[in-house]
Chains A and B, each alone.
Chain A
Amino acid sequence: MCPMRTWTRCSRLSRSAMIEVELFGQLAENGSRINVEKIPLPTTVLDLADFLHLNRDLVGIVTVDGRQSAWSDNVEDGSRVCFFPYLAGG
């Protein structure tokens, strides 16, 4: 799960970027830090999750550069994206 991969095979791309991804808790069974290179832009949180083969049902919170984000939010070049499982404060 979640191997380091690139989007270099995708021919529809005109721009690409480097995204720093970190996975937490149960989402990080096979390593927690991934540098996603040459990801096509524009891209969203959902695109990124699918690219990483994350099970969306297990993702509770996503942050982009420290801000809680939604699936449809765009991810910019150089961003840090964190995927967390479902969490409860306390």
Chain B
Amino acid sequence: MQILRVNMNTLQVHFEPATLPYERLGGRALIARVLLDEVPAKCDSLGRENKLIIAPGLLAGSGVSACGRLSIGAKSPLTGGVKEANSGGTAGDVLGRHGIRAIIVEDLPSDDRLYLLLVKKGCQAELLPADDLKGKGTYATSAALQERFGADYSIISIGPSGEQRLRGAGVAVTGINDQRCNMSARGGLGAVMGSKGLKAVAIEKEENRRPLAAPELVRNANKDFVLEITKSPKLGKQGSQHLYGTASIVAAVNEMGALPTRNFSSGSFEAAESLRGETMRKTILERGGQVGVNCMPGCAIACRNVYVDEHGETIVATLQYETIALLGSNLGLGNLDDVARLNYLCNDLGLDTIETGAALGVAIEAGLAKFGDYESISALLQQVAEGTELGKAIGNGASATGKAVGNPRVPTALNQGMPGYDPRALKGNGVTYATSPQGADHTAGNAFGARNEVNPLGTQGQKELSLKLQIIAAMLDSTGLCLFVRPPIISKPQLCVDMINGIYGWGWTVEDYNQFNRDVLRMELEFNRRAGITAKDYRLPEYMKTEPLPPHQAVFDVPDEDLDEVFSPLAQRDD
């Protein structure tokens, strides 16, 4: 396996063998290790010492189902700590096929020019001028590059918000067929990419899978894995994820009183029925759109959709739960067409819909637009494109917006906007938000529907639940597996061990694998400690501890002592 180093100051690129410890790490785990070893934790996240790391998971390129998630990471300009965000699309799989463990982008350019990194078969890469792409949205950028190099190239790009180094900027990754936008959205990684003058990465398709140490072992493990997925009531072709996508949970989260509504002032939205996955599926099919679409090659779940207007024209692909929550109910919008249009604009600007939705909610509550009024909300979002001072604040996220408009009710943890679960009514997620080295990030350990035995409104068992989920999430994010394959991987961890051993011949045991997963969190916590982040910095905003959330009148009352103890079991190594 190779590491591709890209220096944006000298404009030199070179491949080097991935030696230990990088050789045995992938995705999120590799990002954490590179940050610990190579990036001063207190550096300026938009300065020359920070590095942008693009890393497929350990299983990438092997033909295993649902394992092509691409992790992107750096020191976050939003949280000030470690950040990994991953997305579907084709780039993770193709980098694995090329035998590339990671692309590490270093230093800063000496001028304000933009560049494109071209990666071709046979470990060839070069930086090319890309000033012609300056100011272009992510849709136009990937379309232009696929027209230039070929429709089967995978494109990783930033939009204008990344170029402007806005802290709510993410990174877009193309998918199969003509999918333009799978977002590694969180934590301002688009701003890091923009700071380095890297507008895009174009990666040539590779037909051949990576060589396998024990092909039979991989084949058998994958066969069992796919069987587990297809027979799962959650994940099979008759399962909610495939039929309704991630929006399948809108109604349940609303019913449980945890759906962010009007800047996290209620957990229940009166127009939630029109935002439900059931409504979305019916609307899409009636209009000639698509549901049950893959975002990654060979995925057995296929939860993506193509949301179209009444004329059958695509508005956005794909419309997801978190976006519906943050740009829908959180803004008082009960119309999926409106949400889809805001989603498209965010994608094209290269903005994280969660962070931007949280920021817009804060601004609307301060009187700068009206909840439920698409026109005024859309105009507010357009200010990001126009580059006004308010637009810059919104593009910099919820905390920046709160300061700019004088609204202290800012739903963030570690300065990062909260996803679509109010932590007062789903306290397991509150514990994750308040302890994860990734800040308020549902993918770091989502408690929704994970454990029926832990009462979402209670405080008992939440710290243990969150830790379990955070460890599993760290594993999934390091192998490139999708978050949704959690059930079969939890029940049969040997499957994942067999896949890894079959690819690399490492001879891992389940104990080695468990150690690996815990080490990811240990590394991330250590980086954040070196960055100067303390337990107090992770805490949820004060108002969520005192302001009751309708309809259950819940507050976040998990004691600080419990939060401080979440990672205690990691203090001692398992071996």
Residues of A within 8 A of B (CB): 24-26, 28, 32, 57-58, 60-61, 63, 66-68, 70, 82, 84-90
CA distance A57 to B552 in the complex (A): 29
Q: Which of A61, A82, A90 contacts B484 (CB 8 A)?
A: A90
Given contacts A26-B238, A60-B233, contact A87 B452 (CB under 8 A): no
Interchain pairs with CB closer than 8 A, number:
95
Known: A67-B455, A87-B249, A88-B487. 15 other contacts (CB 8 A): A24-B251, A24-B276, A25-B243, A28-B278, A58-B233, A63-B256, A67-B552, A68-B456, A82-B255, A87-B252, A88-B240, A88-B249, A89-B447, A90-B322, A90-B442
Interface size counted on chain B using CB atoms at 8 A: 43
CA distance A32 to B251 in the complex (A): 12
Given contacts A24-B251, A61-B449, contact A88 B484 (CB under 8 A): yes
Chain B residue, CB-CB nearest to A62: B452
CA distance A8 to B257 in the complex (A): 34
Closest Cβ of chain B to A40, distance in Å, is 25
Q: Binary interface profile of B, 439-456, with partner A (CB < 8 Å = 1, else 0)?
A: 000110011111010011
Q: Which of B238, B278, B421 contacts A89 (CB 8 A)?
A: B421
Residues from chain B with Cβ under 8 Å of A67 in the complex = 256, 455, 457, 552
Report yes or no: B255 in contact with A60, Cβ–Cβ below 8 A: no
Residues from chain B with Cβ under 8 Å of A68 in the complex = 256, 452, 455-457
Residues from chain A with Cβ under 8 Å of B449 in the complex = 60-61, 86-89
Q: Which of B252, B321, B443 contacts A61 (CB 8 A)?
A: B252
Report yes or no: A88 in contact with B234, Cβ–Cβ below 8 A: yes
Chain A residue, CB-CB nearest to B426: A89
Closest Cβ of chain B to A37, distance in Å, is 22
Closest Cβ of chain B to A32, distance in Å, is 8
Q: Binary interface profile of B, 512-556, with partner A (CB < 8 Å = 1, else 0)?
A: 000000000000000000000000000000000000000110000
Q: Which of B239, B246, B255, B552 contacts A90 (CB 8 A)?
A: B246
Q: Which of A25, A63, A90 contacts B278 (CB 8 A)?
A: A25
B277 is an interface residue with CB less than 8 A from chain A: yes
Q: Which of B243, B252, B455, B487 contacts A84 (CB 8 A)?
A: B252
Report yes or no: A85 in contact with B246, Cβ–Cβ below 8 A: no
Closest Cβ of chain A to B276, distance in Å, is 8
Residues from chain B with Cβ under 8 Å of A57 in the complex = 233
Report yes or no: B457 in contact with A25, Cβ–Cβ below 8 A: no
Report yes or no: A86 in contact with B233, Cβ–Cβ below 8 A: yes
Closest Cβ of chain A to B231, distance in Å, is 11
Given contacts A25-B240, A60-B233, A66-B255, contact A88 B486 (CB under 8 A): yes
Report yes or no: B248 in contact with A87, Cβ–Cβ below 8 A: yes
Chain A residue, CB-CB nearest to B429: A89
Report yes or no: A66 in contact with B551, Cβ–Cβ below 8 A: yes
CA distance A67 to B267 in the complex (A): 13
Residues from chain B with Cβ under 8 Å of A90 in the complex = 246, 249, 321-322, 442-443, 446, 483-484
Residues of B within 8 A of A (CB): 232-235, 238-241, 243-244, 246, 248-249, 251-253, 255-257, 268, 276-278, 321-322, 421, 442-443, 446-450, 452, 455-457, 483-484, 486-487, 551-552
Chain A residue, CB-CB nearest to B483: A90
CA distance A83 to B438 in the complex (A): 33
Pick from A58, A63, A89 the residue with the most CB of B within 10 Å.
A89
Closest Cβ of chain A to B296, distance in Å, is 15
CA distance A87 to B233 in the complex (A): 9
Residues from chain B with Cβ under 8 Å of A25 in the complex = 240, 243-244, 248, 277-278
Residues from chain A with Cβ under 8 Å of B450 in the complex = 89
CA distance A57 to B239 in the complex (A): 12
Report yes or no: B486 in contact with A70, Cβ–Cβ below 8 A: no
Given contacts A60-B234, A60-B449, A66-B256, contact A84 B251 (CB under 8 A): yes
Residues from chain A with Cβ under 8 Å of B276 in the complex = 24
Closest Cβ of chain B to A22, distance in Å, is 8
Closest Cβ of chain B to A18, distance in Å, is 19
CA distance A85 to B421 in the complex (A): 19
Chain A residue, CB-CB nearest to B277: A25
Residues from chain A with Cβ under 8 Å of B240 in the complex = 25-26, 85-88
CA distance A24 to B253 in the complex (A): 12
CA distance A24 to B486 in the complex (A): 23
Report yes or no: B233 in contact with A89, Cβ–Cβ below 8 A: no
What are 28 A-B interface contacts by the 8 Å CB criterion? A24-B251, A24-B276, A25-B248, A25-B278, A28-B278, A60-B233, A60-B234, A61-B452, A63-B255, A63-B256, A67-B256, A68-B455, A82-B255, A85-B240, A85-B248, A86-B234, A87-B240, A87-B252, A88-B249, A88-B449, A88-B487, A89-B253, A89-B442, A89-B450, A90-B246, A90-B249, A90-B442, A90-B484
Report yes or no: B243 in contact with A26, Cβ–Cβ below 8 A: yes
Residues from chain B with Cβ under 8 Å of A63 in the complex = 252, 255-256
Q: Which of A24, A58, A84, A88 contacts B241 (CB 8 A)?
A: A88
Closest Cβ of chain B to A4, distance in Å, is 20
CA distance A56 to B97 in the complex (A): 43
CA distance A24 to B388 in the complex (A): 44
Report yes or no: A89 in contact with B249, Cβ–Cβ below 8 A: yes
Residues from chain A with Cβ under 8 Å of B483 in the complex = 88, 90
Closest Cβ of chain B to A38, distance in Å, is 25
Closest Cβ of chain A to B401, distance in Å, is 25
Closest Cβ of chain B to A23, distance in Å, is 10
Residues from chain B with Cβ under 8 Å of A88 in the complex = 234-235, 240-241, 249, 448-449, 483-484, 486-487
Closest Cβ of chain A to B451, distance in Å, is 10
CA distance A90 to B277 in the complex (A): 13
Which A-B residue pairs are the 3 nearest by beta carbons? A89-B448, A86-B234, A89-B446
Residues from chain A with Cβ under 8 Å of B447 in the complex = 89
Closest Cβ of chain B to A46, distance in Å, is 14
